[in-house]
């Protein structure tokens, strides 16, 4: 059997000298930035954990770029109301729905509600998570292990699966993993394991959906000042939280949100299966 000829996507051409002349290239490379416009105009996003922290910052950043948003949260009604009001002040529509994303039925409800309210879904941000510090493996109960994985990992599967029938070419799934997936954490063993699982999920699902032109990427924040920190750690730990990274401080949610805007927009049209690392300067391998 003859080897199939490689299909040409550009005219055959060659230049005699390096580094070469762009003026001779056919077609010419596209280099002019798009005319400035709202990056997410006409888009609809579903963001889990959108009531506070990174989720709230992402919701506001999306709204500033023209998106309407459905935020999912557990039971933090006051925080959710503040986020909803902030988005509405920006002139965007925001729907807030409480419930447990570790329950597949609730995840299906979130997607259905987004379609009911907005008629479409373009961006899914799997962000919400829990963590329960334990100093050694023997203290991690079966109950804790299951709860951490159901909330942090199973919800990614449930929501992405429910969203797929509504996503189309150009849509985006963005998952929040963590620096702990890469460097580990001796007091967050199960949490770090879920974040590693999310990296595998991103890389596998991105390959699965590439033919449909649906991009799947992730963000792996380092220490960020969110409600999860004082809700997880003792006061002494909270007081020094983030001081061990090269920039010597925890990040703010607003410093993380631009990563999500980038990945959700056409600026990242050539990125899928990738992880961004806003982590205060930690060097990551993998």
Helices (H), the chain: 53-64, 77-89, 104-118, 142-149, 155-164, 180-183, 189-209, 228-232, 235-239, 253-264
- CB contact at 8 A, 238 and 133: no
What are the C-alpha distances in Å from 190 to residues 14, 149, 153, 247?
54, 8, 11, 27
- Separation of alpha carbons 171 and 167, rounded Å: 6
Pick the catalytic residue: 73, 158, 182, 191?
191
> DSSP secondary-structure letter at 168?
-
**132 belongs to the catalytic site:** no
- CB contact at 8 A, 26 and 11: yes
Residues annotated as catalytic (active site), given as ranges: 191
């Amino acid at each position: 059997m003859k080897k199939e000829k490689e299909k040409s996507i550009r005219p055959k051409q060659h230049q005699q000298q390096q580094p070469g002349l762009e003026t001779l290239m056919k077609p010419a490379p596209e280099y002019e930035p798009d005319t400035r416009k709202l990056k997410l105009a006409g888009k609809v996003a579903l963001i889990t954990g959108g009531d506070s922290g990174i989720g709230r910052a992402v919701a506001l950043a999306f709204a500033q770029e023209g998106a309407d948003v459905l935020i999912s949260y557990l039971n933090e009604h006051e925080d959710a109301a503040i986020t909803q009001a902030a988005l509405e002040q920006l002139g965007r529509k925001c729907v807030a729905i409480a419930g447990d994303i570790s329950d597949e039925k609730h995840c299906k409800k979130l997607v259905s509600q987004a379609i009911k309210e907005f008629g479409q879904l373009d961006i899914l941000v799997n962000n919400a998570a829990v963590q329960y510090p334990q100093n050694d493996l023997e203290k991690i109960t079966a109950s804790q292990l299951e709860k951490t994985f159901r909330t942090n990992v199973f919800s990614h599967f449930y929501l992405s699966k429910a969203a797929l029938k509504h996503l189309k070419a150009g849509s985006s799934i963005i998952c929040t993993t963590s620096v702990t997936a890469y460097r580990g954490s001796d007091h967050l063993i199960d949490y770090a394991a879920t974040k590693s699982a999310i990296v595998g999920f991103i890389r596998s699902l991105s390959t699965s959906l590439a033919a449909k032109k649906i991009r799947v990427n992730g963000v792996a924040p380092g220490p960020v000042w969110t409600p999860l920190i004082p809700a997880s750690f003792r006061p002494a730990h909270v007081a020094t939280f983030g001081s061990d990274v090269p920039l010597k401080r925890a990040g703010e949610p607003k410093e993380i949100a631009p990563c999500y805007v980038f990945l959700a927009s056409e600026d990242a049209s050539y990125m899928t299966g990738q992880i961004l690392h806003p982590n205060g300067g930690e060097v990551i391998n993998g």
